[in-house]
Structure 1
Amino acid sequence: MNDWAISGVDLHLDLTSGTGARAGLERALREAVRDGRLAAGTRLPSSRALAKDLGLARNTVADAYGQLVAEGWLAARQGSGTQVAGSAPPPRPARRRAVPEQSGLLLGNPAADGYPYDLRPGSSDLSAFPRGAWLAAARRAMAAAPNEAFGYSDPRGRPELREALAEYLARVRGVRADPELILVCTGFVQGTGLLARALRDRGARRIGVEALGFPDTRRILRSAGLGTVELPVDCDGARLEGLGPHHRPAADAVLLTPAHQFPAGASLSPERRTAVVEWARATGGTVIEDDYDGEFRYDRQPVGALQGLAPAQIVYAGTASKSLAPGIRLAWLVLPPALLDAVVAEKRSADRHSPVLDQLTLAELIRSGNYDRHVRRMRLHYRRRRDRLVAALAAHAPQVRVSGIAAGLHAVLELPPGSPAMSDLVARAGRAGLALAGLDAYNGPTDGPGALVVGFGTPPEHAFNGALDALCALLAGTTGTGR
């Protein structure tokens, strides 16, 4: 075997600057060190190996290495080859945003964003991910997996997971789920895109969406060629008048968050649940039920899935993003039989199938009962956090009205008259190291005192008290309600 094929490390360098070979190589290596792509101490390929990779003469690479050693960028030691010098300039610092980003999904990593505290909604407490249970489930799943599991799989997902989900969803959420009608996808965003394209190809042109919600959802639907019909939201959930009469519907489908409207927090009332089912049956329309956090409820009995009322008209969409972590990238659709083939075809075209090992692990986690135990533990964890948030606001900002907290991982904080504009308040929070999102970022009103959407489930446990203190200090100092 040639030594160039196994020695050193792979190294990507851009030599297309138009300069001579040696000068171009020197410049590319300096840039790689300066940008931090080559960290101090990184061992470089031998001159022979790099010359072979880049199609250069070995002497050209050796001369470039020698020049950079002389300049202090690299260090050469007898028997140890050439490596990046420990005294090389530090990487260029990443630019820190002045205020939290108020676009897209508003999801972030507080450390990466430069904010020590993050109360934006949309994420679970990642520090509570059940690493031990997941690792044990992964080992058991790997030991039991048939050889064919590691090949190209059914676009719907592994049968082990679809069967486990069918039992779990029927037991916990009242979903009428046949494993043959479940499709596993890589997150709810992908699932929404698959559904939108399948509906469009079947003749759909317009879809109803809740007026309050993630802006990205509208972008996904519109990019698939669907127009959107805005449905106002009140204390009973989405108002359905915008769907039009049964004999002349204004939409071909509707996407709702009936168990816990995002971000307002209301549940779709029984009357409206009945009304949307009747609309779907009478018009042939499709209802997409986004059950993003239906397992987390605190002060009320669980609201069963809408899908159980009309499985032939309703798509049930669930996800592991809130119960486990967004990084798992697993979600699922329970499809009506009439939509199955079209959505499966879209999934096959998108990425063939979702990652198999994670599917097998989640299936084992559910079958073992550890998924149920984790969800119950997290339900208590989030309830305690919610109670701490409500108590802290009552003590330090009593004129702030808190709503939407009977379920889920976020709360809506309605600010009193005379409060600063939402953009100013979010900017002040950013300067204090606290990432926040206003209701206006989710298509909420932009006039009046506004409201904050606070994700009490987002911070890791060690940072929750600090985030709560920063929030209370901000509100007490800006609403004139501190005491």
Structure 2
Amino acid sequence: MITAIFAFRDDSPKYKQIYEQFKLFIDRGDILADERLPSIRQLADSLQVSRNTTLMAYDQLVAEGYIRGEGGRGYFANELEPLISQGKVILPALKQSESLAPPSLIDFRAGAVDQTHFPLKVWRSIANQVLSLQESYQYGEPFGEMFLRKQIATYLHQSRGVKTNANAVIIGSSTQQMLINLGYILKADFPCITVEDPGYDGARQSFQLHNFMIETLPVYETGADFSQLEHSKSRLIYVTPSHHSPYGISMSIQQRQTLIHWANKIEGYIIEDDYDSEFRYTQQPFPALASIDPARVIYLGNFSKSFLPGIRLSYMVLPEPILKRYIHQFLHFESTTSLHSQLTMAKFMEEGEWNRHIKRMRLVYKRKMQQMVSQLLMQFDQTISIIGEQSGLYLLIKVDLNRSEEWLIEQASFHGVKVYPTSIYYLNNTTDIPIIKLGFSNLSSEEIKLGVELLKMAWV
């Protein structure tokens, strides 16, 4: 039997060695076209490895076309048509970006929400009701439907302490889209902007599109460093004070007051991105900067993180002088977001479903965060540091293994786990030890456990 000649090495994952050996058998004709392969169970028992290990090897062989799975019958070798050159088999070289990796078993993506707890029946029912409204069959208002703007104004007052009226609320499709519009009207008077370093790269790209001069506010795991702010050229700053992206820390009330004082002193503005403030697990959500001084704060929020990414619903609250300029500039532009989604969300909020959803999901995500932290500490002990476990839908792990970020991501991929870099968030304030981003919102308890176990196999 072919498996009898296996001899595992210590320098490579076992699934990869199985994959490479079967690939070699098929390439040189030891396994013929249409020949049945051992089952997952038989192969695992024969090689004394887990079934997951043999499954990962077979999945990679299937993905590359060496074998095929036939439902209920097992796995079979495919016929190959290699390129022949001077009597030698020439296999096409893979680019570095196409390195071999099995299909992802676990995806620690941060930009997702929990599907199993999504209020599908309620949302569908309200969406159907909205389709009976006359206004659903016409173009919407350029700055958003007043029904939704009123609901958002009420919600912000109750949950974030932001006192505003519906006319100051602008609806858009995404944070980036609104920042691009804002940048267009602000760049003449505010050619320079300060952004957090590290900080949300999507916002930075929006400002760079308008050729803003970029200055940086250094942020560390312990908080932001405001010492150089007084000497900056900027009179405009973009921050994520309630849940810093990516560190997950929150500004203290003293830091918030320092920032408000700075903006008033120079007659500038703070752009506050409050992107997922609903999900704080140790205390109540912090009051927004806009609740302290609405005259100096441009407030941004969205429904993507807390409800559904694909709904493409975001909003901002503008101080009076900027609101007038914004309305004048964009009065004749069509709304960038779905009228039907706006009316459905407004009704969803009016009937109290939004508040019920947030309360429910805060408990769901808190349990997932706790499990993620528990599993990471159990598997890795002192080799990692966990950052940002008090809030949000992801956490960061600082991996102290003398390995690069690229290596960690690649090895995780080889073991069927997709993890994400944080290097994209940094400009100048870089870190010596790589930090990996792990989202958990759309993973089950079992998937979190398996994902962390596979990371242990990949890294240690």
Q: TM-score, normalised by structure 1?
A: 0.70
- Matching residue of 1:32: none
Which amino acid letter does the alignment assign opposite residue 273 of structure 2?
D
CA distance in 2, matches of 1:333, 1:469: 39
CA distance in 2, matches of 1:428, 1:235: 26
- Matching residue of 1:424: 407
- Matching residue of 2:191: 205
CA distance in 1, matches of 2:190, 2:389: 35
Q: Does 1:411 align with 2:411?
A: no
How is 1:316-355 mapped onto 2 (pairs within 5 angstroms)?
A: 316-345=299-328, 347-348=330-331, 351-355=334-338
- Matching residue of 1:471: 452
CA distance in 1, matches of 2:120, 2:194: 39
**Runs of 5+ unmatched residues, structure 1:** 1-94, 101-112
- Matching residue of 2:205: 219
CA distance in 2, matches of 1:454, 1:388: 13
- Matching residue of 1:281: 264
Do the aligned partners of residues 410 and 359 (structure 1) sit closer, same or farther apart at CA in structure 2, a change above 3 Å counting?
same
- Matching residue of 1:260: 243
CA distance in 1, matches of 2:329, 2:98: 40
SS state at 1:232 partner: strand
Do the aligned partners of residues 351 and 430 (structure 1) sit closer, same or farther apart at CA in structure 2, a change above 3 Å counting?
farther
RMSD: 2.5
Match of 1:454 among 435, 438, 453: 438
Match of 2:354 among 365, 368, 371: 371
SS state at 1:412 partner: strand
Do the aligned partners of residues 371 and 439 (structure 1) sit closer, same or farther apart at CA in structure 2, a change above 3 Å counting?
same
**Runs of 5+ unmatched residues, structure 2:** 1-94
Q: CA deviation at 1:114?
A: 5.0
Do the aligned partners of residues 148 and 134 (structure 1) sit closer, same or farther apart at CA in structure 2, a change above 3 Å counting?
closer
CA distance in 1, matches of 2:336, 2:399: 45
Contact preservation (8 Å) 2:409, 2:420? yes
CA distance in 1, matches of 2:334, 2:402: 48
**Structure 1 residues 133-180: Cα deviation after superposition (integer angstroms, max 9, x where no partner):** 21122123333x3x3453333221101000111111110111112101
How is 1:233-244 mapped onto 2 (pairs within 5 angstroms)?
A: 233-244=219-230
SS state at 2:322 partner: helix
How is 1:377-392 mapped onto 2 (pairs within 5 angstroms)?
A: 377-392=360-375
Do the aligned partners of residues 387 and 346 (structure 1) sit closer, same or farther apart at CA in structure 2, a change above 3 Å counting?
farther
- Matching residue of 1:155: 142
Q: How many residues align?
A: 364
Q: CA deviation at 1:96?
A: 12
Q: Does 1:120 align with 2:109?
A: yes
- Matching residue of 2:177: 190
Which amino acid letter does the alignment assign opposite residue 249 of structure 2?
A
CA distance in 2, matches of 1:455, 1:208: 27
SS state at 2:282 partner: coil
How is 1:296-315 mapped onto 2 (pairs within 5 angstroms)?
A: 296-315=279-298
CA distance in 2, matches of 1:299, 1:152: 43
Do the aligned partners of residues 262 and 476 (structure 1) sit closer, same or farther apart at CA in structure 2, a change above 3 Å counting?
same
Which amino acid letter does the alignment assign opposite residue 251 of structure 1?
S
- Matching residue of 2:159: 172
- Matching residue of 2:128: 139
Q: CA deviation at 1:241?
A: 3.2
How is 1:62-73 mapped onto 2 (pairs within 5 angstroms)?
A: none
Q: CA deviation at 1:285?
A: 0.8
SS state at 1:361 partner: helix
Q: CA deviation at 1:274?
A: 0.4
CA distance in 1, matches of 2:265, 2:288: 20
CA distance in 1, matches of 2:213, 2:276: 26
Do the aligned partners of residues 368 and 470 (structure 1) sit closer, same or farther apart at CA in structure 2, a change above 3 Å counting?
same
Which amino acid letter does the alignment assign opposite residue 160 of structure 1?
F
Match of 1:361 among 311, 333, 344: 344
Percent identity over the alignment is 28
SS state at 1:327 partner: helix
Contact preservation (8 Å) 1:206, 1:227? yes
Contact preservation (8 Å) 2:195, 2:217? yes
